[in-house]
Amino acid sequence: MAFSLSHCLTFLISFTFFFSSSIFLSFTPQGTQARGLPISSLITKQLFDTIFLHKDDSACPAKNFYPYDSFIQASRCFPKFGTAGNLTTRRREIAAFLAQISHETTGGWPTAPDGPFAWGLCFKEEVSPQSDYCDSSNTEWPCYPGKSYKGRGPIQLSWNFNYGPAGKALGFDGLRNPEMVSNSSVIAFKTALWFWMTEQKPKPSCHNVMVGRYVPTKADIAANRTAGFGLVTNIINGGLECGIPSDGRVNDRVGYFQRYAKLFNVDTGPNLDCDYQKSY
């Protein structure tokens, strides 16, 4: 579940005490997991800058909007992100998350400098949206007059039924003030992590898929929804991209993941695409 801002503050206080104390109380043998270790121990600023080589180029409209410190600050509100399983699993999950948000915000093209997969986090909001993404049939999270729920932030959060619960979980009014996602880099990263960590039945959370906690239902098995990076793509945008062999958008996501997995020195795992999966 996503944490509220008050929960984030409580976590930071307890985490600081735990981490400072644990340094003196115990020694963690090489190869084992210390759940209290921060994300910054797995993705340093140097690695972050290597992954996102061109995010602050003048060619990127979101120049300077996605700093490393904002990503780290946002991740502290989701203590289970990048902390489940062994080091390989942890690194693979982080690589998968960064790959997905890179596709959503890409500024790359086939002949781009350093290749198309060095151009993530170039955009902070959707370009030329075709609608205001208001599902008027959703009465639980009703649209506010005059507001657009177009894609914003690293995951390109879209639709009122996502802005509403994301805002409630993170401490802002996502329905009345959806612009917060493209005005605050920390909130932007938090919405992406909220989407990643939160189960939205019948969809599992992206997190559970990447850390091996996904248990397919009978419907999942019938739809060929097998665990792996391809299932994460299905969760994020399967209605438009999955069940289409060799779809270029899916291949772009995979390309980012393959580059990032190499930088994290891990394998990608199986089932990279959703070519033959039915969407949710």
- For the chain, give every domain's residue range: 37-122+185-263
What is the rounded CA–CA span in Å between residue 154 and residue 100? Answer: 9
Find the mean pLDDT for residues 221-238. Answer: 98
Sequential DSSP letters for 38-107: -GGGTS-HHHHHHHTTTTTSTT-TTTTSS-HHHHHHHHTT-TTTTTSSSHHHHHHHHHHHHHHHHHHT--
pLDDT tens by residue, 179-199 = 999 999 999 999 999 999 999
Could you tell me how far CA 218 lies from the centroid of its own chain? 27
Instruction: Give the single-character DSSP code of 118.
Output: G
The DSSP annotation for 197-230 comes to H--BTTBPPHHHHHTT-----HHHHHTT--SSHH
In single-letter form, the type of residue at position 269 comes to G
179 is an active site residue: no
**Active-site pick, 93, 104, 125, 241:** 104
> How far is the C-alpha of 148 from the C-alpha of 130, rounded, in Å?
11
Q: Is the peptide bond before 202 cis (omega within 30 degrees of 0)?
A: yes
- The residue with tokens 């797995």 is 42
What percent of the chain stands above pLDDT 70?
87
User: pLDDT at residue 256 above 80?
Assistant: yes
pLDDT tier at 38 (50, 70, 90 boundaries)? Answer: confident
Higher pLDDT, 6 or 241: 241
Assign domain 37-122+185-263 to its CATH architecture: Orthogonal Bundle (1.10)
CA 174 to chain centre: 18
pTM, to two decimals:
0.89
Would you state the torsion angle of the CA atoms of residues 173, 179, 184, 185, taken in this order, to the nearest 10 degrees?
Answer: 110
Q: What's the rounded Cα separation, in Å, for the pair 116 and 96? A: 17
In degrees rounded to 5, what are phi and psi of residue 157? -50, 130
pLDDT range class, residue 209, cuts 50, 70, 90: very high
Q: What is the pLDDT of residue 71?
A: 98
In this structure, what are the phi and psi dihedrals at residue 226, rounded to the nearest 5 degrees?
-95, 150
Task: Supply the pLDDT for residue 180.
Answer: 98
